[in-house]
Copies of this chain bind each other. A is one copy, B any other.
């Protein structure tokens, strides 16, 4: 006996409701509602090989509605992935389980990205689809020819980032991106109509998307919609009309199935409704067989692809790029040696452009961009022509005024592999992108954020544009390296480290204003996060700690102190995360107990106690900024050597 389509879909429903019940926590409604759509997708359309979740040319599947994680775990399990096992499913939402409450890309192969923060999965899928077309342009149909599929709910569509993501996808005509909208008309608070009256298909159509509909519980209707989606060269929204929690006879169609276990009696009733007469977590052999057969669909396709790759002229380069390795010959040493030989006074945003020119010439995998501040962020170099719907081989994305969408798309690109994305905006607008920066960090992606205009030094644009708390609040985020280089050398060093760091995103905070080249020593000293830029000549009484544009001030302060016979070190601290990772001896040598520690940074002083202690001095800005020319603002906020030196000498007395 062969298992029917309905049997296969019901296996998802049963596993989902059973796992949520066992965990006494979770979201059964979405997996039960989208089980039929997902079954058609995984059994008939999605290109994958369960035996090799890392196959480079697999279709990407993104569960943007991440709370429905049991849908994904059920699909991976039934399709024959090595994990999750049945035992794994039984540990759903328990500590140590790979089946976490929301899908985590670092837990299980087959999870393309971490989802749960609504809207971001779909926006990451846009980046994946960009990466696919870009690599296709470089390596051809023989080795890069896959689709990106997304399941998204009403939450994903209502979030602001949806507008940014679909605008970018429509503009770039990402025809291989297909979004399956779980149109169940329910949100947590109740009916969608409580909060929205939008004609979603019309909105998508306005943004250059094809929109098709299907009955999300009718396999033929689903297939017809998928076929239409595939046939078009626009991205497609498939409106899947579904019933949330389908199969739970008393609760389906209501928000009660969304985020809580159904309960024993409703589960018993659902088993009866579904005709699923099997104990919890048990899937009959014929249904298992049907799923496993479907899971092997891709094996031959994969083998054929491997044969094509073996014969491909650029095989080694393709494999290098998909592995995320930099070319063996890549180096910025010559570039930096040139700077040491001929110092330059430029803004660090300009320094970033200069080193990017050296990087982009050596690394074909970089894809740059900016959220409509190209000339201000200095993110475009001569190697990076525009990536457009007409030419996906370009290496520069005009993201538009879409900071959040840009950041999420960069996450998707990095997760797809084969490219290294970087993108810019003003540092103050890192707030707009912050939820995606957090997902860069959580997902361990190599994304480089080029955040310019990093302090009051931007001047006249005033407090809405002047970061105060931003650098510090980003330092507080786990697994993010925040760089605030003081000159052209440190900027190059920060870029070198950012590119070498595969599992950690980097954020560069760069100045609008020019800065002198302060570094004289060779070697990547920034790599340790902090180092002695100037050593005391007189007996050391003071250690000055500073970052970025304030290192120049620290050097002036130091010179003034030395002129008074007071010895002072200057420690440049371009990356706190790196510094904190050094051993105690290294840190104690730079920040000794027996000196007055003084920090200078044009941002909040909050957090500097880590280094200056409770008896040090911190010079910074603990209020919002102001509009005016930058030099006057530095005076206003007391960030000048003239203002700082007397306070240090007074403290010493």
Which chain A residues have a beta carbon within 8 Å of chain B's beta carbons?
A: 23, 25-26, 66, 93-97, 100-102, 104, 114-118, 154-155, 158-164, 167-168, 170-171, 187-190, 194-200, 202-203, 205-208, 370, 372-376, 386, 398-405, 428-429, 431-432, 434-435, 438-439, 441-442, 459-465, 468-469, 472-479, 604, 606-607, 609-610, 613-614, 622-624, 626-629, 632-633, 636
- Distance, CA A479 to CA B621, complexed state (A): 13
Instruction: Report yes or no: A160 in contact with B162, Cβ–Cβ below 8 A.
Output: yes
Instruction: Report yes or no: A159 in contact with B158, Cβ–Cβ below 8 A.
Output: no
> Which chain B residues lie closer than 8 Å to A170 at the CB level?
197-198
- Distance, CA A187 to CA B627, complexed state (A): 23
Report the minimal beta-carbon distance from A226 to chain B, rounded to whole angstroms. Answer: 24
**Most chain B CB atoms below 10 A, which of A158, A401, A478, A632:** A401
- Distance, CA A482 to CA B26, complexed state (A): 30
> Which chain B residues lie closer than 8 Å to A402 at the CB level?
158-160, 195
Report the minimal beta-carbon distance from A376 to chain B, rounded to whole angstroms. Answer: 7
Given contacts A206-B199, A462-B104, whether A155 and B627 have CB atoms under 8 Å apart is no
Instruction: Report yes or no: A376 in contact with B607, Cβ–Cβ below 8 A.
Output: no
Report the minimal beta-carbon distance from A122 to chain B, rounded to whole angstroms. Answer: 12
- Distance, CA A297 to CA B249, complexed state (A): 64
Instruction: Report yes or no: B159 in contact with A171, Cβ–Cβ below 8 A.
Output: no
> Which chain B residues lie closer than 8 Å to A429 at the CB level?
117, 435
**Most chain B CB atoms below 10 A, which of A198, A386, A469, A627:** A627
Q: Can you list 25 contacts pairing A with B, beta carbon distance less than 8 Å?
A: A95-B628, A95-B629, A95-B632, A100-B626, A102-B461, A102-B464, A104-B463, A116-B461, A158-B400, A158-B402, A162-B163, A171-B196, A188-B372, A189-B373, A189-B398, A202-B205, A203-B207, A434-B434, A468-B477, A469-B478, A472-B476, A473-B473, A475-B606, A609-B609, A613-B613
> Which chain B residues lie closer than 8 Å to A95 at the CB level?
626-629, 632-633, 636
- Distance, CA A206 to CA B207, complexed state (A): 11
- 6 extra interface residue pairs, beta carbon distance < 8 Å, beyond A170-B198, A469-B476: A160-B160, A187-B400, A188-B374, A195-B372, A198-B207, A469-B473
> Which chain B residues lie closer than 8 Å to A404 at the CB level?
160
Report the minimal beta-carbon distance from A254 to chain B, rounded to whole angstroms. Answer: 13
CB-nearest residue of chain B to A468: B478
> Which chain B residues lie closer than 8 Å to A104 at the CB level?
462-464, 627
The complex is assembled from copies of this chain, and their number is 2
Report the minimal beta-carbon distance from A343 to chain B, rounded to whole angstroms. Answer: 28
- Distance, CA A158 to CA B627, complexed state (A): 26
> Which chain B residues lie closer than 8 Å to A196 at the CB level?
167, 171, 400
Instruction: Report yes or no: A610 in contact with B614, Cβ–Cβ below 8 A.
Output: yes
**Most chain B CB atoms below 10 A, which of A187, A400, A402, A474:** A400
Report the minimal beta-carbon distance from A350 to chain B, rounded to whole angstroms. Answer: 17
Given contacts A203-B203, A477-B469, A627-B95, whether A164 and B160 have CB atoms under 8 Å apart is yes
Instruction: Report yes or no: A116 in contact with B431, Cβ–Cβ below 8 A.
Output: no
- Distance, CA A162 to CA B405, complexed state (A): 13
Instruction: Report yes or no: A401 in contact with B159, Cβ–Cβ below 8 A.
Output: yes
- Distance, CA A633 to CA B624, complexed state (A): 37
Instruction: Report yes or no: B164 in contact with A159, Cβ–Cβ below 8 A.
Output: yes
Report the minimal beta-carbon distance from A103 to chain B, rounded to whole angstroms. Answer: 9
Given contacts A25-B459, A102-B627, A163-B162, whether A189 and B478 have CB atoms under 8 Å apart is no
Instruction: Report yes or no: A198 in contact with B188, Cβ–Cβ below 8 A.
Output: no
- Distance, CA A604 to CA B478, complexed state (A): 8
> Which chain B residues lie closer than 8 Å to A465 at the CB level?
101-102, 116
Instruction: Report yes or no: B399 in contact with A195, Cβ–Cβ below 8 A.
Output: yes
> Which chain B residues lie closer than 8 Å to A188 at the CB level?
372-376
> Which chain B residues lie closer than 8 Å to A154 at the CB level?
401
Instruction: Report yes or no: A118 in contact with B401, Cβ–Cβ below 8 A.
Output: yes
CB-nearest residue of chain B to A635: B95
A478 CB contact (under 8 Å) in B118, B614, B624 = B624
Given contacts A372-B155, A465-B101, A475-B606, whether A23 and B460 have CB atoms under 8 Å apart is yes
Instruction: Report yes or no: A160 in contact with B158, Cβ–Cβ below 8 A.
Output: no
CB-nearest residue of chain B to A376: B188
> Which chain B residues lie closer than 8 Å to A431 at the CB level?
434-435, 438
> Which chain B residues lie closer than 8 Å to A159 at the CB level?
160, 163-164, 401-403, 432
Report the minimal beta-carbon distance from A578 to chain B, rounded to whole angstroms. Answer: 15
Instruction: Report yes or no: B202 in contact with A208, Cβ–Cβ below 8 A.
Output: no
Report the minimal beta-carbon distance from A609 to chain B, rounded to whole angstroms. Answer: 4
> Which chain B residues lie closer than 8 Å to A627 at the CB level?
93-95, 97, 100-102, 104
> Which chain B residues lie closer than 8 Å to A163 at the CB level?
159-160, 162-163
- Distance, CA A428 to CA B66, complexed state (A): 15
Report the minimal beta-carbon distance from A490 to chain B, rounded to whole angstroms. Answer: 23
Instruction: Report yes or no: B116 in contact with A464, Cβ–Cβ below 8 A.
Output: yes
Given contacts A114-B464, A632-B95, whether A398 and B195 have CB atoms under 8 Å apart is yes
Report the minimal beta-carbon distance from A241 to chain B, rounded to whole angstroms. Answer: 18
Report the minimal beta-carbon distance from A462 to chain B, rounded to whole angstroms. Answer: 4
- Distance, CA A127 to CA B231, complexed state (A): 43
> Which chain B residues lie closer than 8 Å to A442 at the CB level?
463-464, 624
CB-nearest residue of chain B to A114: B464
- Distance, CA A465 to CA B27, complexed state (A): 14
> Which chain B residues lie closer than 8 Å to A399 at the CB level?
195
> Which chain B residues lie closer than 8 Å to A115 at the CB level?
464
